Amino acid sequence: MAIRSILLTVSYDGCDYSGWAVQPGFKTIQQTLNDAATSLIGRKTTVHGASRTDAGVHALGQRALIQVDCPIPTENFQKALNDRLPESIAITEVVEKPIGFDVIGDVKAKLYRYTIYTGQTRPVTRIRYCWHYPAKFDIDAMSEAANSFIGEKDFKSFASAGDNRQSSVRTIYQCEVKQEGDWIYIDVEGNGFLYNMVRNVVGTLTDVGRGRIEANKIGEILNACDRTAAGSIAPASGLCLMWIKY
Amino acid sequence: MAIRSILLTVSYDGCDYSGWAVQPGFKTIQQTLNDAATSLIGRKTTVHGASRTDAGVHALGQRALIQVDCPIPTENFQKALNDRLPESIAITEVVEKPIGFDVIGDVKAKLYRYTIYTGQTRPVTRIRYCWHYPAKFDIDAMSEAANSFIGEKDFKSFASAGDNRQSSVRTIYQCEVKQEGDWIYIDVEGNGFLYNMVRNVVGTLTDVGRGRIEANKIGEILNACDRTAAGSIAPASGLCLMWIKY
């Protein structure tokens, strides 16, 4: 049988998982998908993800690739995998790709959305999917600071320790702060992200919004190439990987 | 010190609780609130709820009364209780009521909202708060059937076994079916509800929407005064107690 590469679009509630990547002894998204694919296909199958999301981070548009040589038609994979997955994970799309398709290397852009709730009382049915930060924020200052992230830059100041990627240069296409009532949404689109980069960018933007960092200081922070120059890290619960484009 | 009656507005994610009412050996909303109030006030305190919501049912506007004779000012109760509650429960409002206020008997109206997701793939970040029912529904037929519930009627056909209230006559002020994309919202407002009544009404409405029960048969089903005359029961996860008016 011919080998096929199948690209899955995956959504998940990250609350009950120790992140994407397989870690012996921990429940992870990748492990759960591996188990579902192995059960479906009848032989040990590994799912290769486009993004290693952290513990507690959510996704509506993660991508993952499997290579199969089984007789199951590609269009049957979505339902068959969903039937084998817990309700906190779902395959939302399945598409065949040419052999040689690189699920990480061929990524053109990704969008992360970060959600902050600023109202006084925690929103119990959204608390798993936001950062509850009851405070007033200067949205104009945050937007000005957000603009400074756009372009090709060295983001070393926004990478947490543990990042071992060779280059810390990334291109940010969009960094937008939107306010709707008590909610703040921060959309960050780029060609790639360092370890904890979006959460460090968001934490710094909230420090700007609270007047702890001046809006025009982002350039200096980037130039420092030093994590301690930037602001705090935002919690994982507010972060969601919205989509990945190839 | 004078005894005060304090009315709490309570929101909760019901997923991880065995319903509202205290049951020895189970984690319930009332028990969790009792523990928080007891810890705050320093003596055994019981919170009396307006509605006994079932396991898995959510609330944005449950009401609960406590009687206290402690020196803590009423306006401090909200924050002090929230600090002692898990993130799945929150007090959203606190107001003092005259002694003699009856948290159950004085209710004028309650609104429950039921949420159905009809898209093919489960919505992972909303699955805890809806019924995932991937199908096409005849919304016009459901709306016609919903209208038949409005008014003062005997709802015995829509009460699950275990209801031991004396009368099964209730008044429904509003019963509305709304569709927004893949979502269906069913709002039911009444002066009171029998055990599982909203879930039985919603289950029957979905049976109408799927063509299993004719829209004009609701009158007959009500007249039967027999649970087996009505349709299926909708799952708890889609139900939310939105508000209670006094």
Convert the pLDDT of each residue in A178-214 to its tens digit.
999 999 999 999 999 999 999 999 999 999 999 999 9
- Judgement on whether residues A86 and A139 belong to the same structural domain of the protein: no
Contact A121 B88 (CB under 8 A): no
Q: What is the mean pLDDT of residues B10-33?
A: 97
Contact A121 B90 (CB under 8 A): yes
> Rounded distance, CA B28 to CA B227, Å?
28
Q: What is the mean pLDDT of residues B100-121?
A: 97
> Rounded distance, CA B171 to CA B149, Å?
9
pTM: 0.93
Res A130: pLDDT? 98
- Read off the CATH number of the domain in which A113 is found: 3.30.70.660
Q: Please give the angle made by the CA atoms of B82, A179 and B9, to the nearest 5 degrees.
A: 25
Name the stretches of chain A with pLDDT < 50.
none
Q: Of A16, A35, A54, A187, which one is the catalytic site residue?
A: A54
- Does residue A192 fall inside a structural domain? yes
- Judgement on whether residues A222 and A113 belong to the same structural domain of the protein: yes
- Does residue A85 fall inside a structural domain? yes
Last residue of a domain, one of A77, A97, A117: A97
Q: Of B54, B163, B182, B226, which one is the catalytic site residue?
A: B54
Tokens of A11: 């959504």
B2 pLDDT higher than 90: no
Range of the domain at A50: 4-97
- The alpha carbon dihedral of B34, B38, B44, B50 has a sign of negative
- Judgement on whether residues A80 and A138 belong to the same structural domain of the protein: no
Give the strand pairing for B58-68 and B169-180: unpaired
- Does residue A103 fall inside a structural domain? no
Res B165: pLDDT? 73
Q: What is the mean pLDDT of residues B115-127?
A: 97
- Judgement on whether residues B51 and B167 belong to the same structural domain of the protein: no
Last residue of a domain, one of B54, B76, B97: B97
Contact A89 B124 (CB under 8 A): yes
- Read off the CATH number of the domain in which B49 is found: 3.30.70.580
- Does residue B197 fall inside a structural domain? yes
Average per-residue pLDDT in chain B?
Answer: 96
- The ipTM value here is 0.90
- Judgement on whether residues A126 and A226 belong to the same structural domain of the protein: yes
Tokens of A63: 């991508």
Residue with tokens 């063509």: B211
- Judgement on whether residues B116 and B161 belong to the same structural domain of the protein: yes
The domain tally of chain A equals 2
Buried/exposed B62-90: b ≥16 CB within 10 Å, e otherwise: bbbbbebeeeeeeeebbebbbebbeebbb
Res B133: pLDDT? 98
- Judgement on whether residues A147 and A83 belong to the same structural domain of the protein: no
Contact A60 B122 (CB under 8 A): no
- Does residue B130 fall inside a structural domain? yes
Q: Which residue of A has its CA nearest to B11?
A: A124
Res B175: pLDDT? 98
Kindly tell me the burial class for residue B241, based on how many C-beta atoms sit within 10 Å of its own C-beta (0-12, 13-18, 19 or more).
buried
| Contact residues on chain B for A123, CB-CB shorter than 8 A | 11, 90
Tokens of B33: 């609130």
> Rounded distance, CA B150 to CA B195, Å?
18
- Judgement on whether residues B122 and B91 belong to the same structural domain of the protein: no
**pLDDT tens track for B146-172:** 999 999 999 999 998 876 778 999 999
Distances (CA, A) of A176 to A24, A148, A233: 37, 11, 18
Residue B53 is classified by DSSP as P
| Chain A contact probe: residue of B124, B128, B239, B240 with most A CBs at under 10 A | B124
Res B68: pLDDT? 93
B4 pLDDT higher than 80: yes
* Chain B residues within 8 angstroms (CB to CB) of chain A: 11-13, 58, 60, 78, 82, 87-92, 121-125, 127-129, 132, 240
- Judgement on whether residues A139 and A221 belong to the same structural domain of the protein: yes
In chain B, alpha helices (H)? 29-41, 77-84, 139-147, 197-209, 218-224
- Does residue B102 fall inside a structural domain? no
- Judgement on whether residues A149 and A234 belong to the same structural domain of the protein: yes
Res A20: pLDDT? 97
- Does residue B186 fall inside a structural domain? yes
**pLDDT tens track for B123-139:** 999 999 999 999 999 99
- Judgement on whether residues A159 and A221 belong to the same structural domain of the protein: yes
* More confident position, B242 or A70: B242
Res A166: pLDDT? 81
Q: Please give the angle made by the CA atoms of B80, B83 and B89, to the nearest 5 degrees.
A: 110
**pLDDT tens track for B172-202:** 999 999 999 999 999 999 999 999 999 999 9
Q: What is the mean pLDDT of residues B56-65?
A: 98
Whether B54 sits among the annotated catalytic residues: the reply is yes
Give the distance from residue B154's alpha carbon to the nearest chain A alpha carbon, in angstroms. 33
- Judgement on whether residues B29 and B113 belong to the same structural domain of the protein: no
Last residue of a domain, one of B97, B118, B152: B97
- Does residue A104 fall inside a structural domain? no
